Chain A
Amino acid sequence: MNLVCVKGENMIRRLLDIDKVSIRVQGAKKSTAHSVLVNSVSCHVNAGEVLAIIGANGAGKSTLLNAIAGDIAFTGNITIDGVSDQAKLRARQIAVLPQLSLLNFPYRVSEVVGLARIPHDSGRQRDDEIVQEALTLMDISYLSERLYTELSGGEKQRVQLARVFAQIWQQADAPNGTRLLLLDEPTAALDLGHQKLLMGAIRELASHGVAVVMVLHDINLAARYADKALALLCSERLAFGTIEQVITRQNIKSLFDVDVHIAQHPEHNSPVVIGL
């Protein structure tokens, strides 16, 4: 089952391919400048890679992520290698963290994370184990029996993260070994320590063949932990490539209209953006 891992490290598997994807406002009759949310964007992510989507508010980052998740209509092609056409099996391959969670029923934290196992047939005992492991990964096992509605924003976010992790926990559960994780601003509510914890967990998943796409506002987090970046400017692709190619002084200036200095990380050599 561990197709990607067994076949060796030098085999590159293009897991997600986005080809000239355009998305319009639903119900818009004429295509005006305002009705195009994403305009002919292409990029790709290999298994084991982390892609960060960066850009200003309203640039189309979340819209593109929703299109990959299959929530909204688009033109162009989005190809996910080995994806199942059965909804239940696809749910074992693709997990999605929305920007905003709307849950307002008093579930226990362990029950929320347990919902992730709905598409799986791995048995109650294994499911419970995975839930506990995911809780531990997100440092919330002490909240396990608390009510979700009583948690703080950051705690809720970690519960939702544990949920999407638990959904694609094992490579063996995913048909064809295809695992794709889509995260919309996963660090938005997290403190510095838990941001680091989360990024570590994401890298760990990636090292097991998961392709990760995340929308990030923190450029330095993207630079430090992502393999590639896609910069969106006003619905269009400004740059796509390695971190060094995308996170440049000119690009940051075009994206956010902010002058910055790009330094080098003292330990990891990744670029560090310093606002001027």
Chain B
Amino acid sequence: MHSVGQQQVFSNRAIVIGCACALLPISFFLALSFGTVSISFSDTLWSLLNSVIVSEPASGTGLISRTDLIVQQIRLPRALLAAVVGALLGICGATTQGLFRNPLADPSLIGVTAGASAGAALTIFFAGSLTSLSGLPGLGLVSIGAFVGGSIAVILVYSLATNTQGTSVATMLLAGIAITALAGSLTNILEFFGDEQILRRISLWRMGGLDGASYQRVAIAAIFGSIILVILPRFSTALNALLLGESEARHLGLSVQSIKIKLVLLVAAGVGISVALASTIAFIGLIIPHMIRLLIGPDHRYLLPISALGGAILLLLSDTIARTIVSPIELPVGLVTAILGAPFFISLLRRRHEFGMR
């Protein structure tokens, strides 16, 4: 009996991993090919190969073809940024839910994203006069600000909502509302007191979702993102044990306190970077881990990496939809993920007793 069941789990996992690995390049390719200007798959592929093989773009003529320009300079950095940010949001969502021992804990719902936004806005406000904030150091600075803001938010929510009995959903969501309101008003105050230039910078940054993608942003996302994406899965076993409860995890030989601090900082860094580079994108960290958990179970050794893959796929597809559905107008990608995510969240909330949540 049990061996059949086990095989079932393993084959499920294999299928899900296979699908995710196949869907990622497909959705990446769709993101490059679709847009206001539709480019045929063969041209897209050709242009992509060109950019990889030929280091100097169109060195023969000195001119860059229109296709190459669109694919290499506009869509490729955007797709890369979407993939990394989506992966970060997916893995950070899965980690937050494990850390809070609560399947409804999503960084954007519990105020972490808002905290990161406020941190970024504060940085723009106070450091705007020092640096141009458009180059690498400026972006790095905004990312650090977002990280600090996000960290403060996670620590606040965690200490408010979590005790030895786990996390109460109600307290967690209420704390999230409070922190989101506080962070939002902080940003508003900054806009109120800022001069015209700062105002412009903040609002530019706030609006700048993935359409602000540049290779500079991709570089920052790739460096910090890959560090986080490599480190977080090392906590899989710890997160598995933490689902039992904190003292149970301690009785299994884990130094729970230090693991918690590291996880909180990593999540804040992941969310902070994604907020700094692509502004607020809600719900990916909620939808993806849930879907993956339904398919393969809560074992973080598989959940974390597959959530990263799933997040990348969902954000690539959402962004492609956002760019094409009412083309030539671009919808903010956050709008698309919210339209997908809000009904999902409501259905989870209605069925929360099935998950044994209070």
Interface residue ranges, A against B (CB under 8 Å): 66, 69-71, 87-92, 94-96, 98, 101-108, 110-112, 115-116, 118-119, 132, 141-142, 144-145, 149, 167
Contact = CB atoms under 8 A, between A and B. Distances in A.
Return the 10 tightest CB-CB contacts between A and B, nearest first.
Answer: A145-B5, A91-B253, A104-B356, A119-B253, A88-B253, A144-B2, A105-B298, A96-B251, A87-B253, A102-B245
Interface of B: 1-2, 4-6, 8-9, 101, 103, 165-166, 237, 240-241, 243-245, 247-248, 250-255, 293, 297-299, 355-357
A92 B253 CA distance: 8
Given A88-B253, A167-B252, A118 B245 contact: no
A33 B253 CA distance: 35
Contacts of B237: 118
A102 B165 CA distance: 7
A201 B111 CA distance: 48
Given A71-B250, A105-B298, A106-B298, 14 more contacts: A88-B253, A92-B253, A103-B244, A103-B245, A104-B355, A108-B5, A110-B2, A111-B299, A115-B241, A144-B5, A145-B8, A145-B9, A149-B355, A167-B252
Contacts of A88: 253
A89 B237 CA distance: 16
Contacts of B255: 87
26 contacts: A71-B247, A88-B253, A91-B252, A94-B251, A98-B245, A102-B101, A103-B243, A104-B356, A105-B101, A106-B293, A106-B297, A106-B355, A107-B297, A107-B299, A108-B297, A115-B244, A115-B252, A118-B237, A118-B252, A132-B2, A141-B2, A145-B1, A145-B4, A145-B9, A149-B356, A167-B252
Contacts of B254: 87, 118
A69 B251 contact: yes
Contacts of B299: 107, 111
B252 A104 contact: no
B240 A115 contact: yes
A112 B251 CA distance: 14
Given A91-B253, A119-B253, A142 B298 contact: no
A90 B245 contact: no
A119 B249 CA distance: 10
B5 to A, nearest CB: 3
Contacts of A115: 240-241, 244, 252
Contacts of B101: 102, 104-105
Given A110-B2, A118-B237, A144-B5, A69 B247 contact: yes
A67 to B, nearest CB: 12
Contacts of A144: 1-2, 5
Nearest to B355: A104
A118 B251 contact: no
B103 A108 contact: no
Contacts of A103: 243-245
A105 B293 CA distance: 9
Contact of B357 (A89, A101, A104): A104
A107 B252 contact: no
A103 B101 CA distance: 8
A184 B4 CA distance: 35
A115 B237 CA distance: 9
A145 B9 CA distance: 9
Max chain A Cβ within 10 angstroms of own Cβ: one of B6, B255, B356: B356
Contacts of B4: 145
Contacts of B245: 98, 101-103
